[in-house]
Amino acid sequence: MDDIAAEAELTRAMLYRHFDSKADLYRAVLDRACVRLAEATGADDFGEDAIPALLRAASREVGRRNLARVIPEGPWLGWAANLIPGFTLEAVIAWLNAGQPDPDQAAERISQAVHGVMAAAHPPA
């Protein structure tokens, strides 16, 4: 937090007046990064690498359209579309707080967790 405050030319106290916690600061950074990535890359048709997958999951409208390909229209589609963006952000924050273990595997593991939410929303066969 000291490094962030210094880079922003603020005191740590001023930084905490704006953000209640480190998690709130992380959320703001991730939200801003998602917006910037969406502006730079568009909002549809991403490849399978990590950052575009996280961006797609974090965007409700795009996420819902993509989820509609695998989850039938109805309340569970809405549930998944509302849950996945926050879930993804919290997964990234938890990974950061855990010391960023296995950075080369983090995106895949978060993707697996998101797919678990999708599986839970899909009706049983």
In angstroms, rounded to a whole number, what is the distance separating the alpha carbons of residues 9 and 73?
48
Q: Which span out of 3-7, 50-54, 120-124 was modeled with the highest average pLDDT?
A: 120-124
Question: Which residue type, as a one-letter code, is found at position 4?
Answer: I
The predicted structure's pLDDT at residue 33: 73
**Does 115 score more than 70 pLDDT?**
yes
Domain spans in the chain, listed from the N-terminal domain onward: 21-121
Query: What is the distance between the alpha carbons of residues 27 and 19, in angstroms, rounded to a whole number?
Result: 10
78-110: pLDDT as tens digits: 899 888 888 888 888 888 888 888 888 888 888
Q: Which ranges constitute the DSSP H helices of the chain?
A: 2-7, 12-18, 22-41, 50-58, 60-67, 75-97, 103-121
Q: Output the average pLDDT for the chain.
A: 77
Smallest Cα–Cα separation from 120: which of 79, 59, 73, 88? 79
Q: What count of residues does the chain have?
A: 125
pLDDT at 11 over 80: yes
Q: Which of 37, 31, 28 is nearest to 4 (CA)?
A: 28
Higher pLDDT, 116 or 63: 116
- pLDDT, residue 49, reads 56
Q: Which amino acid is at 77?
A: L
